[in-house]
Chains A and B, each alone.
Chain A
Amino acid sequence: DAKTTQPNSMESNEEEPVHLPCNHSTISGTDYIHWYRQLPSQGPEYVIHGLTSNVNNRMASLAIAEDRKSSTLILHRATLRDAAVYYCILGGTGANNLFFGTGTRLTVIP
């Protein structure tokens, strides 16, 4: 599995933007970049995914570097409910499974 590197933890103040980085220097041309998050005591939930172009949805934005070796998940206004572990994952849409690393634990400070 192609690996990703994320900071172990980050903090953000409530109602401020959060930029969660992910490095994936060994990404292949067919790998999509997926982001999931896991709230305390819950299963992971899908956040967003992209291939080359930046993506926006109701939850977040995904900014992908031109060389695709890194990406950033952007939460535009952090809320307390956004406190979770965020996983950056590589894989094709036909992948049998997603390789979850240890992710970034985001703490939101009121």
Chain B
Amino acid sequence: GAGVSQSPSNKVTEKGKDVELRCDPISGHTALYWYRQSLGQGLEFLIYFQGNSAPDKSGLPSDRFSAERTGGSVSTLTIQRTQQEDSAVYLCASSAAGNSYEQYFGPGTRLTVT
């Protein structure tokens, strides 16, 4: 079946502009996660959605970052007034309910802020 998909695969934007990154999780997966990975680094947790519960936003680095999940499926990560330090690969993952240990990752969106 279809895996996690993300779009766009690459995004180049100018400093100060807003960007939206999209994630389509695996159908039926109730949990959705956003991470980011800077060059040569491990993954940094950003935000977690589980069903209709309030999201865990504890990993968002600043108030310029926000995310929403519509209809319990597709999620959008928005970065406002982008900065050069926001340049990274943004990864989305999903998992079935109760199986957070087995997360399925998308290919990521490479964001470059110039």
Taking CB atoms, residues of chain B closer than 8 Å to A45 are 104-105
From B45, B103, B106, B108, give the contact of A46 (CB < 8 A): B103
Nearest CB of chain A from residue B80's CB, rounded to whole Å? 23
Taking the complex as formed, is B99 at the interface, i.e. its CB lies under 8 A from any CB of chain A? yes
From B4, B48, B99, give the contact of A96 (CB < 8 A): B48
Taking the complex as formed, is B93 at the interface, i.e. its CB lies under 8 A from any CB of chain A? yes
**B-contacting 9-mer, from A20-28, A67-75, A76-84, A97-105:** A97-105
Mark interface residues in B83-113 (1 if CB within 8 Å of A CB, else 0).
0000000010100001111111111100000
Taking CB atoms, residues of chain A closer than 8 Å to B98 are 93-94
Contact A98:B42 (CB < 8 A) given known A43-B91, A43-B93: no
A91:B43 contact, CB within 8 angstroms: no
Q: How far is the CA of A10 from the CA of B100 in the complex (A)?
A: 28
Interface size on B, residues (CB 8 A): 25
A103:B101 contact, CB within 8 angstroms: no
A97:B105 contact, CB within 8 angstroms: no
Q: How far is the CA of A32 from the CA of B103 in the complex (A)?
A: 14
Main secondary structure of the interface of A (DSSP, over half): loop
A103:B42 contact, CB within 8 angstroms: yes
Of B33, B58, B91, B101, most buried by chain A (CB within 10 Å of CB) is B101
Q: How far is the CA of A102 from the CA of B42 in the complex (A)?
A: 5
Q: How far is the CA of A49 from the CA of B100 in the complex (A)?
A: 11
Taking CB atoms, residues of chain A closer than 8 Å to B104 are 45-46
Q: Which residue of B lies closest to A32 (CB)?
A: B101
B contact residues vs A (CB 8 Å cutoff): 4, 33, 35, 41-43, 45, 48, 50, 56, 58-59, 91, 93, 98-108
13 contacts between A and B (CB under 8 A): A43-B4, A46-B104, A91-B100, A93-B99, A93-B100, A94-B98, A95-B100, A96-B48, A96-B50, A98-B43, A100-B43, A102-B41, A103-B42
